[in-house]
Structure 1
């Protein structure tokens, strides 16, 4: 995903981490791929040692540094033309010319920024591209500042003038832009008030910044013994590895050590979270929104019903979650299932080696239901330098899809020859295909899709890949492994994220009516939600009550629900494609081609997924039920 064109929100990447749930039982032995050369696993290659066929082709953006420098200078010259439009945006001709200039600046700035940062990501230690990244960032800030007058100046027009502009045929290309401006107008304050709010922007970021420093830099955890009796320092990154241990004592000790550490800081973190909630309430009231929740949903034009439907439907589906935990208890052969058992492996360890070429071919096979035109572009992506495949010294970690309008998208991987990497490949190519089809069918302003839609295409690819693998796999242990892998994605991405969303709703509603949120109250709310979600089949350990203190998403308020809605929408699409065939495929491809040409809810509805109703979530739950039934049959 690229920057948002209108606001020049630079640096928005599509999906940097693919799986919420990391497969716990995978033992990987690397095999050589069909490429000409692979660096041994024990030694990280330098960037210069990576064969060209394993790298992305950034020269499709800029053939060389000279071309980048020339476009940079040309963009600086374009910025000088912006001032001519200040205080003159009152007629259609002038506004059209200003929008056209804004688009031209945005396209160039985007290309410059994306190239510079992807070069930096190839080797983050390379000073030349560190400097280029910073240079592109400064240009982006300069462009934002230069163009910032456009929205408030147009919104200062009288309503009848704005309405006339919206229906003016000369501005048809910008109709959605103007409609969105009008929709936001009720919450735009006077220039003086908006200036004052802008000045406190840095203060508004303080709770998240302080929590990040405490959580990532200052929080120190004790040592925990691993399966071999070695004392290893517990860290945020190692915590999940401890919870995936086959040794229950290791899991229990890590769990207790993690939350004992947070419990010691609960008063401080409680004050930080309170400050963030108080900030949200202040902004909602200042901007004349009925509530923080409605303010948070307003940007994507999402109804409050979408949020409450998610919570209500998941509440109705909690017996399924509790049925899954009962099955997990049975498979682990324990008298009581505890919170620290949720990531324990359910299948004896076995090897599953999948080279990049094998992964690529399996992804292509699994996505055949999407049709030849989709596969043709996907093959082009695999063969024509869209993907940067393997890890090298200094390369950015994780995975993402990114790009700039007018050029094909790119995918960064750090591929390991295993199952998780294959799903990462399917996921990121889903993002890439969404961007490609959106860019190919929409003008610049309409091509950028929202975050609400971003995870649908990527997760749909995963769902079709999983369906293909489950149908292809006959060996019981392998099938059980895949079923567990998929079921835990439902648990973590739908149920867990919805529980987070409900916690945010409850805490903000209490703050809005003046109730205090002490650390004890926050812990009580969180503990009771865990009891409600997991039910009687689970021992909800008291330690979990302080987990709210370690969730960074709570400082990006009312965001986590999008994981659950995106996963549900994708699962609904997959179910329709598998059962209906071509009509559903046509609707889905229409969705990919729509970009941001309409509001997110409308785009999904046209494609056959109505997120304003509970139906897509119910369809996702029906898939979850089928997974549980298959697991039960295999273990009858």
Structure 2
């Protein structure tokens, strides 16, 4: 029976090198004490920032320096824990980092209320009196937007001290889903016994053998359904936390509170949901075509990921995928490609799945570290897309951190997914231009359509569900497992239409979606993918000015408001045009794929 390796069995070259953050755990622990001391020193600065421009600069930089040190420590603990969530040592380090996060939050909780206690005119006079504060003007302008939502110093300190408590539901969900759930033994396509995992599940759903897909689907959900009431409790508590925080900060809703952090107007969210619902007919055409080409009497939810045109025509080892990624991204210029190569060469990527490793993939790190990527590699086209996707995040981080000072050295969540999905679009274009075999080309088109389905349609579906449960909880509705499953099942049927059997298990899909704990994150996958379609077309036009406008977006960080950054890159996300462009591309590729798939079936 094939087994997932232990962490100690993974080749070193396929693991990330975290010694560039801390040489060892002892150095990490020493920094904990340093940060605790710094926290006390920063707490003592309370009441001093309004005396002069020089004092405002001194206090501001002290607070930022403390947060900078904390981020470095927190990133190290998080990455260590994610590489093996069952490792008690790194569970402890992660716990210590979380505790310190609450300590620092409490020690600095007075800073923003003190700044916002000043009138706009008084604050501007202090800034104008100290030339060094000019580099922080945008930071204070953004902070000023929070005046009516910032509480008293005492209240802010109380909330900051409770941050670790507020995170309890999310942490419980993470430990339960990543470390404690034990999945059954299933059979792969060759009839081998394999231990099911979230990573392997994604591979088995792409199997061309219906029984393999069905078995994996039912086996996975049999485990999640055992704990559906527990998952309902953790998700309901998370939603209550979001609603509570929004209420005490005088927002009209949790959604408004979450979007205000990036200064994103409600019209962006509402336009997405309205436009996607207006194009569900395209999704229905696609799933009906899938049923036709696969020749299935019924199309189930577990049939939505297998290649319509048969066995995958493309698969890549990790080494092969690196070379393909470099070729696909060459259109972004030699400097971009050189920085991608550095990621490959300097052990910035944790490649393969091991027992206890966090599922999925992400790009991490902070201002003073290199970007890191976590993968759970499978030799598939999907893993190549994942690699290119996360590399988009990492290059966004690299260009931001090397072109902006620390105070602007990060970027908002809203624009984060745009860089990653632009890379995916560039990879799709590269494959369609280089693959002439009809079978291969059909497979790539199929993959693109599935990616669009999973990113634009599926994430908007998630966004609708997330907004609904927040609204219902705010209205006093108890978020029981049955209540959420009933709504989710109906919503899923609405999105996919009558061409797909509404398998009872899918109503419980919300139990295994970690992004529902991210506080209105998911809609940004959909807006990001759609915006990336327009940006990719601009880059591929061959116009160097348009390519450079995109690279300038990567370099902008948080030096301007997200919508302004995107307008400068060439996309106005307050208007529906970019969404219409994305759906037009989907329809064009669906038409091409329909023709190819039917010809191949003859």
The answer to whether the 8 A contact 1:369-1:581 is kept is no
Map of 1:30 onto structure 2:
none
Counterparts of 1:77-92 in structure 2 under 5 Å? 81-90=41-50, 91-92=52-53
Aligned-partner SS, 2:516 = helix
Map of 1:601 onto structure 2:
563
Q: Which runs of 5+ in 1 are unaligned?
A: 1-40
Superposition deviation, residue 447 in structure 1 = 1.2
Q: 1:231 to 1:434 in 2, by over 3 A?
A: closer
The answer to whether 1:482 aligns with 2:425 is no
Map of 1:6 onto structure 2:
none
Superposition deviation, residue 584 in structure 1 = 1.8
Aligned-partner SS, 1:401 = strand
The answer to whether the 8 A contact 2:309-2:597 is kept is no
Residue deviations 1:351-384 (CA, integer Å, cap 9, x gap): 645344433332222222212332343344445x
Q: 1:533 to 1:172 in 2, by over 3 A?
A: same
CA distance in 2, matches of 1:177, 1:279: 27
Superposition deviation, residue 387 in structure 1 = 3.2
CA distance in 1, matches of 2:32, 2:238: 39
Map of 2:110 onto structure 1:
149
Counterparts of 1:58-97 in structure 2 under 5 Å? 81-90=41-50, 91-97=52-58
Q: Greater CA deviation, 92-101 or 350-359?
A: 350-359
Residue deviations 1:234-272 (CA, integer Å, cap 9, x gap): 766665455444343454455456667767766665566
Superposition deviation, residue 446 in structure 1 = 0.7
CA distance in 2, matches of 1:368, 1:241: 29
CA distance in 2, matches of 1:58, 1:274: 35
CA distance in 2, matches of 1:413, 1:214: 20
Counterparts of 1:88-127 in structure 2 under 5 Å? 88-90=48-50, 91-114=52-75
The answer to whether the 8 A contact 1:85-1:94 is kept is no
CA distance in 2, matches of 1:508, 1:633: 43
TM-score, with structure 1 as normaliser: 0.79
CA distance in 2, matches of 1:557, 1:219: 24
The answer to whether the 8 A contact 2:82-2:357 is kept is yes
The answer to whether 1:616 aligns with 2:578 is yes
Q: Which runs of 5+ in 2 are unaligned?
A: none
Map of 1:431 onto structure 2:
393
CA distance in 2, matches of 1:208, 1:131: 17
Q: Greater CA deviation, 90-99 or 348-357?
A: 348-357
Map of 2:271 onto structure 1:
309
The answer to whether the 8 A contact 1:386-1:409 is kept is no
Instruction: Give the CA RMSD over aligned residues.
Output: 4.1
CA distance in 2, matches of 1:48, 1:345: 30
Q: How many residues align?
A: 593
Aligned-partner SS, 1:321 = helix
The answer to whether 1:318 aligns with 2:318 is no
Aligned-partner SS, 2:146 = helix
The answer to whether 1:564 aligns with 2:526 is yes
Q: 1:86 to 1:263 in 2, by over 3 A?
A: closer
Q: Greater CA deviation, 234-243 or 67-76?
A: 67-76
Q: 1:145 to 1:372 in 2, by over 3 A?
A: same
CA distance in 1, matches of 2:585, 2:53: 51
CA distance in 2, matches of 1:61, 1:232: 36
Superposition deviation, residue 96 in structure 1 = 0.1
The answer to whether the 8 A contact 1:571-1:619 is kept is yes
CA distance in 1, matches of 2:178, 2:140: 42
Q: Greater CA deviation, 515-524 or 475-484?
A: 515-524
Aligned-partner SS, 1:537 = coil
TM-score, with structure 2 as normaliser: 0.83
Counterparts of 1:202-601 in structure 2 under 5 Å? 204-205=166-167, 207-208=169-170, 239-240=201-202, 243-252=205-214, 255=217, 273-350=235-312, 352-383=314-345, 385=346, 387-388=348-349, 391=352, 399-406=361-368, 408-412=370-374, 418-513=380-475, 521-579=483-541, 581-601=543-563
The answer to whether the 8 A contact 1:47-1:123 is kept is no
Q: 1:532 to 1:94 in 2, by over 3 A?
A: same
Map of 1:20 onto structure 2:
none
Residue deviations 1:200-242 (CA, integer Å, cap 9, x gap): 6566445545656776678787877776788988766665455
The answer to whether the 8 A contact 2:530-2:578 is kept is yes
Q: 1:124 to 1:204 in 2, by over 3 A?
A: closer
CA distance in 2, matches of 1:214, 1:68: 27
Q: 1:168 to 1:479 in 2, by over 3 A?
A: farther
Q: 1:308 to 1:355 in 2, by over 3 A?
A: same
Residue deviations 1:443-484 (CA, integer Å, cap 9, x gap): 110111122222222222222122101110012222222222
CA distance in 2, matches of 1:71, 1:297: 34
